[in-house]
Structure 1
Amino acid sequence: MRFTTRFVLSSFMLTALCSSGCSDENPKVEPSPEELIFGQFYGECSGERCIEIYKLDAQKQELSEDVKDIYPTVNTPYVGEYVALSTSFYRHAEDLGQSVPAQLLREPNGAIGQPDAGDWGGYYLEVNKNGKRGFWLIDTQKRNLPAYLHPLVDTLRSRIDKLP
Structure 2
Amino acid sequence: MKKITLGLLVFGILLSCSSDDDALNITDDNFLIFGHFYGMCGGEGCVETFKLNEKSLYEDTIDDYSGQNMEFVELENELFEEVRDIEDFFPSQLLNENETVFGCPDCADGGGLFIQYSENGILKSWRIDQTKSNVPSYLHNFIDKVNEKIALINN
TM-score (norm 1): 0.73
Rounded to whole Å, the distance in 1 between the matches of 2:83 and 2:117 is 14
Q: What is the aligned residue count? A: 126
Q: 1:107-158 CA distances to partner (integer Å, 9 max, x unpaired)?
A: 1353111110100100111000122110001111110011111111111111
1:162 aligned partner: 152
Rounded to whole Å, the distance in 1 between the matches of 2:82 and 2:108 is 29
Larger radius of gyration: 1
> Is 1:41–1:50's contact at 8 Å kept on the other side of the alignment?
yes
List alignment gaps of at least 5 residues for structure 1: 1-32
Q: RMSD of the TM alignment (CA)?
A: 1.4
Alignment partner of 2:63 out of 69, 87, 91: 69
Alignment partner of 2:105 out of 106, 111, 115: 115
**Are 1:37 and 2:20 an aligned pair?**
no
List alignment gaps of at least 5 residues for structure 2: 1-28
User: Which structure 1 residue ranges, 4+ long, deviate > 3 Å from structure 2?
Assistant: none
Task: Give me the identity figure in percent.
Answer: 37
1:50 aligned partner: 46
Rounded to whole Å, the distance in 2 between the matches of 1:100 and 1:57 is 14
Q: Which AA in structure 2 matches 1:53?
A: T
